[in-house]
Structure 1
Amino acid sequence: MADEGFLTRKFGEGVENYYSGSPLNRLAFLRTNHSYLSTALQHPSTRFLLLNNLDPLASTPSTLAFVSYSDISPLISNPYSTSEKEVLESFTSTIDHPVLIFLGIDESASQEHKIPTPDGKYSGQAYFSLDITPYPHISYSSTASSLLDSIKQNYPLHEFKTARKDLNLGNEHAAIYASARTLTNWNVTAPFCAGCGQKTLSVNAGTKRACPPKDGGVETRKCPSREGVHNINFPRTDPTVIMAVISSDGTKILLGRQKKWPKYWHSTLAGFLEPGESIEEAVRREVWEESGVTVGRVVIHSSQPWPFPASLMIGAIGEALPGKEEIYLGNDPELEGAKWFEFEEVKEALGFTSGLYEGTPEGYKEGALRLPPKTAIANQLIRAVVLGEIHLAKI
C-alpha cells in the first residue's frame, strides 16, 4: 500500500534512484560488537559478496552471486574472535588483512536463516562483502590467488563482472553492490592515516580505519585521530550536484556532452560541490562555468549514491534567467558542446536511452538525440522536466 502520509499528499510520491533502496538493515550500532559479528560471520546462512578489483561475483548480468563462510574462511579465519581494542593493541603493520565489511541483515529472510541481535529486538540473514583481490604488495596475496582459483573451480558459472559494462543489476542487488564497492574502494585507497601518516587498520566492521596506538608491540607516535571528535579516518563521500536546467520560458532543457561520450549522447550538467557552498550555489556556479548560462531559482529533486568511486549525486532542477541563456563554453573546457533542446525532441529521445557502454537501442535513427538510461539520476531529472513527472515513483 502506498504511503498516504502528509508529505505524500502534499508533495507526491518520493523518488528512489538506482543504487539506493538497499534491502539490508545496516545495524550500524553493532559494528563494534565482535561477539555478534563473530556469530553472524560463521553462521551457515550468512552470505558473502566477493569483489576482485572492485568487480563483483555475479551469476547473471542482473544477479549478484554470494558464497558462504566455508568458501572464504582460508583467507579471513575469524577477525572478530577478539575485541576491537585487542585487535588494535596487537596490530603489526607488516601483516595485511583483506577488507571485510558487514553490510547488514535482511530482515525479510526465512526464519531458519535469521540471526537475532544481542537484545533480541532484530533478526535477519547477515551479509558481508570481502575483497579477494590478490594485490602483489600484500602479505596474503598468494592465499587470495588460491581462493580466486578455488572460487572459479567451485562456481564455474559465476564470473567477476565489470559493473558499468557487463552488469544490469536489479535495484536491490545494485544497492548492495554500491555499499560494498564504495566502502571497499575507500579502505583500499586509504591505507595510511591522514592525521599522522602511519599505517591504519580497518575496524568498525569495515566502516572506519583506526590509527593503532602500537605497531608490533611498540608505541606509535601521537596522532590527532586518537583525540577528541574527528573524521580523519572515516569513509569519504563526494557531494556532487547534477541538474536539469529549464529555459526561462519553460519550453527547453539544457544538455551537454563530453568528447568521450558516444555520438549524439547528451546528459544533464554536473559538478562537485565545493567547501562552504550550498547546493543551490553549486548548481548556479557549475552551470555558469560549464555553459555560460545563468540560473536563478533552484529546487532539489532527489539524490543518488554513485559508487564510481564515492559520489552522492544531488539532483536539482534550475531555471535560467531571462536574457542570460546564451551558451558560452570558454570558462571551462569540460564540455565538448551544450545545447538547448525542445521538450518534444527530448520526449522522443527518452524512448531510446542507453548507457555509455551500450550500443544504440533498437529503433534508434542515426543522428537523433541519445540520453542516459533510467538507472541514471540524469534520466530521472530529464523526465521530471519534460514529462512533468516532478514526483516519481520507484523505477
Structure 2
Amino acid sequence: MSIVDHLSNSTANLFSSVTVDRAPEYRLNNEELSVLADSTNARFLPVLDSQVLVSSSTTGYAVAALTRSIFDAEFHPAGPMIYLGRFNGGHHFAIDIEPASSAHTAGHLFGDLRQLAPLLPDTDCALLGYTRAMVHWQRTHRHCGRCGTLNEARNGGHVMRCTAKDCLRQQFPRTDPAIIVLVENGTRALFGRQAQWPKARYSTIAGFVEPGESAEQAVVREVSEETGVEVVNITYHSSQPWPFPGTLMLGYHAKAGDTGIRLNDHELDEAKWLSRTEIETQMRDGTFVPPTPTSISFRLIETWFNQNAATPLRVLRKTYSELET
C-alpha cells in the first residue's frame, strides 16, 4: 500500500504553513509566563475587532510582532494575554485590545486577514490565523456557558474557567470540523454557486460535520443535500485551519455514482458539471471564476484539473481573472 504524504499536502494550504512550537510546558506556570512576557524576545500580536496588525512597506506586508515596550506604549489590552508559543526565536503572545487603541507607529495598520492573506508571506498568514482564532475564541467565552459567571483565563489563555466556586467549569478552544469535496465523474467535476457570492464565482461542495457522523459520512450527506448527487470512493486530500472564526476544513475527492442534479436544500443557487476544457473556456469569457488560491477549495480543484490539463489552473486564473480577495 502506498503512503500519501498528507502532512506536505496540508502544509501547502494557506494558514497551515508555519510550525509554531506551542511549548505547552510554559502554559502551566504563570510566573514563568510573566517573565517570558517581559523578556526582550517576547513579541505581541494585537487584534482589534477581529482585525490583525501588519507592517506595511514598499516591499509589501508582514506580520507586526511588537516588543513589550512598543505594545505597552500604543495599546490597551481588552483581555488576557494568550501564549502562542515559540517562533523564529521569540515567544509570541496574542492579545485582544480596546477599540480606542490605534497603531501610532509609522508603517503599521490593522486589516481583515481574509483580504490581507494573498499579500502576506504564507508563514505570516498561518501565525496570524492562529492569533485571530484564539482571540476570537477567548472573546466569545468570557462567561461560563453553564451558570453565566465571569470566566478567568488559565493555562496561558488556552483555558477559560468559571470563577464560581460551585461551578469551576472549564472551556477549551473550539474548532468546528467541516468537509469540502471535489466530486468528479469521468472527465467532469461538480461545482456549486451560492447567490450571495461574487459574480460567476463557483466552488466545490462544503458543509459542517454534524454530531453522530464521520467526516466521510458528512461528505455523502452534504453532496446529496445540496446537489442530489450520490458519491462513492471518497479519498482524503488534506486539511486547512480556517480562522473565520475557527473551522478545520477537511478536504476530499470523491467519485459520483450518478450525475443528476437536484438542488434539494436550496443552499446553492446553481450546480453544474464542467470538464477541464469547459472550465478554461468559461474562465476566458468570465462566466466561471474559481475560488481564491487562499482556500482549500482551490487546491482540490487544482489537483484534479492539473492531472490532465495543458495549462495549470493557477496560470489560467492569473491570465483570465483579476486578483480577488
Shorter-chain TM-score bucket reads: 0.7 to 0.9
Conserved in 1, the CA contact under 8 Å of 2:78 and 2:96? Answer: no
Which residue of 1 is the match for residue 322 of structure 2? none
Conserved in 2, the CA contact under 8 Å of 1:290 and 1:334? Answer: yes
Which residue of 2 is the match for residue 345 of structure 1? 278
Distance 1:12 1:196, change over 3 A: closer
Which residue of 1 is the match for residue 261 of structure 2? 327
Conserved in 1, the CA contact under 8 Å of 2:22 and 2:84? Answer: yes
Q: 1:239 & 1:100 partners in 2: Cα distance? A: 26
TM-score (norm 2): 0.86
Which residue of 2 is the match for residue 80 of structure 1? none
Distance 1:348 1:201, change over 3 A: farther
Q: CA deviation at 1:179?
A: 0.9
Alignment partner for residue 39 of structure 1, among 23, 35, 44?
A: 35
The alignment's C-alpha RMSD in Å is 2.3
C-alpha distance after superposition, 1:146-177 (max 9, x if no partner): xx24x32xx12211011122442211111111
Alignment partner for residue 246 of structure 1, among 173, 178, 184?
A: 184
Structure 1 unmatched ranges of 5 or more: 1-6, 78-95, 110-123, 135-144, 214-219, 226-231, 350-363, 390-395
Conserved in 2, the CA contact under 8 Å of 1:27 and 1:104? Answer: yes
Which residue of 1 is the match for residue 193 of structure 2? 257
Alignment partner for residue 111 of structure 2, among 147, 161, 181?
A: 161
Q: 1:302 & 1:343 partners in 2: Cα distance? A: 22
TM-score (norm 1): 0.71
C-alpha distance after superposition, 1:8-34 (max 9, x if no partner): x74357311110132421112321112
Q: 1:372 & 1:271 partners in 2: Cα distance? A: 16
Amino acid across the alignment from 2:184: I
Which residue of 2 is the match for residue 62 of structure 1? 61
Q: 1:28 & 1:287 partners in 2: Cα distance? A: 39
Structure 2 unmatched ranges of 5 or more: 309-325
Q: Does 1:188 align with 2:124?
A: no
Which residue of 1 is the match for residue 175 of structure 2? 237
C-alpha distance after superposition, 1:197-244 (max 9, x if no partner): 21111221111101124xxxxxx4x2272xxxxxx5111111000000
Distance 1:40 1:76, change over 3 A: farther
Structure having the higher strand fraction is 2
Larger radius of gyration: 1
Q: 2:3 & 2:209 partners in 1: Cα distance? A: 29
Q: Does 1:99 align with 2:50?
A: no
How many equivalent pairs are there? Answer: 301
Q: Does 1:11 align with 2:21?
A: no
Between stretches 166-175 and 236-245, larger displacement belongs to 166-175
Distance 1:211 1:253, change over 3 A: same
Which residue of 1 is the match for residue 204 of structure 2? 268
| Equivalent residues in 2 for 1:373-388, closer than 5 Å | 373-388=292-307
Conserved in 2, the CA contact under 8 Å of 1:255 and 1:340? Answer: yes
Q: CA deviation at 1:346?
A: 3.2
Between stretches 66-75 and 48-57, larger displacement belongs to 66-75
Secondary structure (helix, strand or coil) at the match of 2:37 reads: helix
Amino acid across the alignment from 1:289: E
Identity %: 35
Amino acid across the alignment from 2:290: L
Q: 2:26 & 2:281 partners in 1: Cα distance? A: 49
Which residue of 2 is the match for residue 202 of structure 1? 153
Amino acid across the alignment from 1:211: C
